[in-house]
Amino acid sequence: MRNVFVAGAAVAPFGKYKDSTPAELGGTSALELMQSVGVSPDRVDTGFVGSVYGGSLIAQRVLQRVGISGQPIFSVENACASGGSAVNLAFQAIASGIADSAIVVGVDQLSTFGGGALPLTTADVETAQGVIMPATYAMRAQRYLHQAGAEPMVLDRISVKNRGNGAHNPRAHFQKSITLDDVAQSRRVADPLKLLHCCPNSDGAAALFLCSEDFGRDLAVDLVRVRASVVRSGQFHTSYRDMTWPDITERTARAAYEMAGITAADLDVVELHDAFAIAELLHAEALGLTERWKAHVAVTAGEFDRDGRVAVSPSGGLLSRGHPVGASGVSQLCEMYWQITGTAGDLQVPGASVALTHTTGGGIFGVDNGACSVHVLAAD
């Protein structure tokens, strides 16, 4: 298997763009990427576009805007892990030798839904009974706080931390710090979750350029090695499920650590799937950043701050950047590329050389989540 490198990243600022189409949003980030990497469309061997609500042939509609057509092009839908899954397919193509270069775009436009919870298929038995995402994470929060002996205020601290990070991110949907009092006074969504514990439904796109070592040698850009790229699906069963333990995250991370030849203790910086504040605690423990039931202690002690033991969501996370679902996984990798190359500006984590990204998505009957992607980037 050949080494695979990231050679460039671009993110169109997340927000609400009701007058644009998903193809236009994706095309904007793809154009910025191609210009920054300095390659012509004919040198791109293949392309992948992750999107949930972009519609049929979203990949062709995005990439033809930058002159990429005729090559093998694929649309990828894997719920909130769509973007990460698209990166994984590009990684496989280059690692196997099928391609030397690939463009990956993640895009979605959620503002057209008019707000509220994400629309889910009613063909799922749990969704049909009213189990929407805020309700699911609220139940997870209630159980975690009870079993870990954690104070509800730890959820407020996570929102304040990530929104504070996002205040320095020009690509984030929300670029304003908030206080503990702001969180406490925000309206209740699903007990114990309040509005400021939840990520916004955003519009946006992100793009990433992957290549082999030989291809990257001719480029006048920094290269960052993809040490691991792993996707796993949820394991179906109808027996008891522990909602405080995202087993899909643990299994995917374990495989990624093995591929990368590292442990969680080697990580300098992490972007995880914090669609709701409680998710940071659940996934931090499943990723091995802390012992089980201790993530709330780590948050309170500042261990996940940008200058802490391991920086978690220095970009602001989904809570601040927003969550255009198909774009989130690609956006995380863009942020980590800038961290590893030392070009993250005000978001820079000093000395960051090993980074992990994590997205998980799609709650369906009988599993935790439908898909999960974990990537490890490193300076070597």
Give me the catalytic one of 80, 198, 199, 211: 80
Residue 199 designated active-site: no
Torsion of CA 226, 204, 325, 329, to 10 degrees: 10
Structure tokens at 312: 């978690």
Give every strand in the sheet of 46-50, ordered side by side.
73-76, 46-50, 101-109, 203-212, 4-15, 224-233, 371-378, 354-361, 269-271, 311-312
Instruction: Return the SS3 of 229.
Output: strand
For residue 30, give the nearest of 86, 81, 80 by alpha carbon: 86
Give the span between the Cα atoms of 283 and 264, in whole angstroms. 12
Over its C-alpha atoms, the chain yields an Rg (Å, rounded) of: 19
**β-strand pairing of 4-15 with 203-212:** antiparallel
Give the span between the Cα atoms of 97 and 137, in whole angstroms. 41
Q: Residues with catalytic annotation?
A: 80
